[in-house]
Structure 1
């Protein structure tokens, strides 16, 4: 399945980068093609191409700031917080795939503890840590050091 994602936080240096990395790794682990755009105070990195958006089955937005959704008209758009992208990237990707396979369209909010269907994507609810604590699956963090946050920061500041 083809997915696109946008991560954004007010500074755009750490959390949005971590969310982007985790979404990329989760998509790869689950066998899906995913492109991720990072927005922050320093501008946009890896901006999504219009072709990638057109081919996408679903759009994931993990953001603590306002992200324009005009270019995603007609697509399934899942909206959550950066925390969702950092801590629950695999669940976010799975939810996007599940809804896309079911033929859903429109906007869905996730990460607030409810199913989020037909919810207002502008809502800025944070994840319920109690739900994560009850899960039997371990939360996977980190990944390939060549693609990780520190590698990106090193590249950014060198």
Structure 2
């Protein structure tokens, strides 16, 4: 499966880079192709092209800042925080795969919508279901 992602942190690039590396490593382990754009206080690295986004089966935004979602129009989108990508990249990628397969009610962006609408995605952005991250940590501990 082909995925694209954006990680963005307001304070610098270290957290964004950690999130990007975790998403890349996890996707590779699961046999997915992923390209991650890293945004920080100094700008963007490894920017996604329009053709990258058009070829993607799903997109992941792991951000603690506002990221324009206009360019992801028509692509199933998973929204979370940088912390989600650092601590539970496996869960974010699983959600993206489900969204691409149509197994979850992931939202597709509409042209002109730059902010996330209220709903399940917003719950995840605010911390959401903390049991998911606990289960992920326990799985890593016992594996």
TM-score tier after normalising by the smaller chain length:
0.7 to 0.9
| Residues 10 and 80 of structure 1: CA distance in aligned 2, closer, same or farther (over 3 Å) | same
| Equivalent pair of 2:13/2:39 in contact (CA under 8 Å) | no
TM-score, length-scaled by structure 2: 0.80
In structure 2, the gaps of 5 or more residues are: 110-117
Partner of 2:140: 138
1:79 matched to 2:79? The reply is yes
Give the drift of 1:49. Answer: 1.3
Separation (CA, whole Å) in 2 of partners of 1:137 and 1:120 = 24
Q: How many residues align?
A: 130
| Residues 95 and 131 of structure 1: CA distance in aligned 2, closer, same or farther (over 3 Å) | closer
Partner of 2:67: 67
SS of the residue 2:139 aligns to: coil
Separation (CA, whole Å) in 1 of partners of 2:128 and 2:17 = 19
Partner of 2:107: 106
TM-score, length-scaled by structure 1: 0.73
Partner of 2:112: none
Separation (CA, whole Å) in 1 of partners of 2:132 and 2:7 = 23
Deviations 1:115-138 (A, max 9, x none): xxx826456312555543345410
| Equivalent pair of 2:78/2:106 in contact (CA under 8 Å) | no
Q: Post-superposition, which runs of at least 4 consecutive aligned residues in structure 1 deviate over 6 A? A: none
| Equivalent pair of 2:74/2:108 in contact (CA under 8 Å) | no
Partner of 1:55: 55
Separation (CA, whole Å) in 2 of partners of 1:88 and 1:134 = 10
Separation (CA, whole Å) in 2 of partners of 1:120 and 1:107 = 13
Separation (CA, whole Å) in 2 of partners of 1:27 and 1:73 = 22
Separation (CA, whole Å) in 1 of partners of 2:101 and 2:50 = 22
Greater helix content: 2
Give the drift of 1:95. Answer: 1.2
In structure 1, the gaps of 5 or more residues are: 109-117, 140-158
Q: Give RMSD over aligned pairs.
A: 2.3
Partner of 2:32: 32
